[in-house]
Structure 1
Amino acid sequence: MSNSILAINAGSSSIKFQAFATGPEALLRRVSGLLEGIGNAPRLVIRDGAGKILRDDKLTQAAAPSVEAGEAIIGDWLLSAEAKDVIGGPVSAIGHRVVHGGPDFSTAARIDDSVLARIEALTPLAPLHQPKNLAPILAWRQRQPAMPQVACFDTAFHRGHSELADRFAIPDALYREGVRRYGFHGISYAFIAEKLNEVAPAIAKGRVIVAHLGNGCSLCAMKDGRSVDSTMSFTALDGIPMGTRPGAIDPGIVLYLMREKGMDAAAIETFLYHQCGLKGLSGISNDVRVLEASDAAQARLALDHFVYRIAKEIGALAAVLGGIDALVFTAGIGENGADIRARIARACAWLGVNLDPVANAARETDFSATAGGPRLLMVPTDEEWMIARYTRQVLSL
């Protein structure tokens, strides 16, 4: 019987998971699942390795009011006879996405008491995500204490940045404490870097900007398959606008909110993580699909601002790289938002990218209009596969 690795990717309102058998040369997907709408309208969909739906359960809000409750539902299923039959036996190890690894973690790490304590200590740097990442780790420790677990850090892919790129213009003592630019979505970017070797080998080692556009959004400048710079920095608030986060703002705004609005740290944290971005600008929704379907002027403003800021930051990263060989789109909006891709591509035409609207609408991998020049690519990400790969490497499975 082969080993089976469970990859868990817990977000603020969803949990994605996949189970893989460890073949001699490859990871073989046995199960994939998504519990989304946690706390609102939960829905659990589980498929086997061939994509056949095993479960499609609409749950009550009371059944999954939190990520912790959602994890319990998934955990119960994974320990069931049905799951073991589909996976091919019990799970041998679990890999987890952990958003912030701080200055200490440049690679994935097996979780022990010391590693767990260091992950928990980083919670103030990722208050929206870190507790959700910790929930399944703690649950499985209680459920099966001997189960090997591995933390895969979103920050690790960016740890090769130069000190020049990672510094803020603040006193050196704060940098030494760890107040520096980290970058996030690293598991996704690592997968794209690997996948480019397969789908676009001619540019995989070149100058590439990847746009990870989902509810959380960032851009990464890569050269030779490695991260050179990223729009996110000390926390996942920085960079381009997101569903409910503002991206880069003048820090004086925080002082204004404190002095003029009487907001304390907790209120400002809630404001920045939950009330800004597309949701704040539009006053309607953080969902691009809802905004695109709306006739409201504020919906158009939110989308226009989103595209403007992304194009602006692409320009900055192109300057860091000295030009680009490809612009790659991934994640929920990046993979499914043909209109957003087109608008960003047109705003970046000065870089030499040339859009083929038919190929873009058809979700083709390469939707460039001409054979020469920088490529426009759409490459679906697979963070769970990357988590499983890291877990296999750490545990030598």
Structure 2
Amino acid sequence: MQRALNFNAGPAALPVSVLQEAEKNWLNYHNSGMAVMELSHRSKDYEAIHQKAQDLLRNILSIPNNYEILFLQGGASLQFSMVPMNLLTEGKIGNYVLTGVWSEKALQEAEKIGSTYIAATSKVQKYRSIPNEISISKDAAYLHITSNNTIYGTQWNQFPSNEFIPLIADMSSDILSKPLDIENFDLIYAGAQKNLGPSGVTVVIINKKLLSNSIDRLPTMLNYNTYAKHNSLYNTPPTLAIYLLKLVLEWVEQEGGLKVIEKRNEEKAKILYDCIDESEGFYIGHAEKESRSKMNVTFNLNHDDISLKFLQQAKEAGFIGLNGHRSVGGCRASIYNAIPVDQVCQLAEFMKAFKNKN
């Protein structure tokens, strides 16, 4: 079959070899006579999958032993509530940096739970950049950031310090895209459906010292301690999604690790941004250059009718998912880890050809 040129923002493309491996074991995993989604989550076969996924993630991201790796459900959207429920203790203030829609949503959920403060925002600039200055409130419980902004195409290149207060990061759209200093963060959460795997599982990496903040009166399934104490097996986890997460992590290792992945992502981003910058204003990038995302390349064309024509002809040429988010319009190419360099080159060539004809 002809694979689509898939530039969707999420759920996004998965490595072909991962899908082929899953297909090979679809009906009969390890001669069990069952598919992975049919295995008991208490079985040895599944427990091995679960543990291998954790071990691979710890190894690839160099996660220290004083951090727990949790597998949850509910996506990043549930974490917007779980973070303040577990960490926004009485008398403390949740500090938020607003860089787009998802950070706004995180703030809105925290406001329902406790006191909040906007430590920085680039909203006035239509979220075209990452703020340069951050002002932390008195009695801050934590500082929350969104590391990459899929809708506006901006990304943090240098993170704030967690020296004085815990740093919390929503990394749903750029985790695993480059090496990280995990100890610079106290909690990282990420919905899987960009770089980690399919939708359905959410990864939380949390410093164990934060677990003492969680209070017993929280609902059991909303308490990080529940997952830490039971190895994320208190209830039935999303077993198939975790299996595919394991396969993606194995693929990252086979590709050479995060330094190789990072170099490839930089190459792909440069191809598209060069195409935009060299178009003499035909394509207009949304993000300021110093804040540009290497995961989501957002741009507009100089007229709405030309933009619609571009998207229609791109779709006819086999490019999928280039429409900008419904809240802002325009165009967006999401070039996560699984997108090959040659597909990005094909998109750039299409963009150049379209410009020359129009």
Common fold by TM > 0.5: no
Which has the bigger relative contact order, CA under 8 A and spacing at least 6?
Answer: 2
> TM-score, normalized by length of structure 2?
0.26
> TM-score, normalized by length of structure 1?
0.25
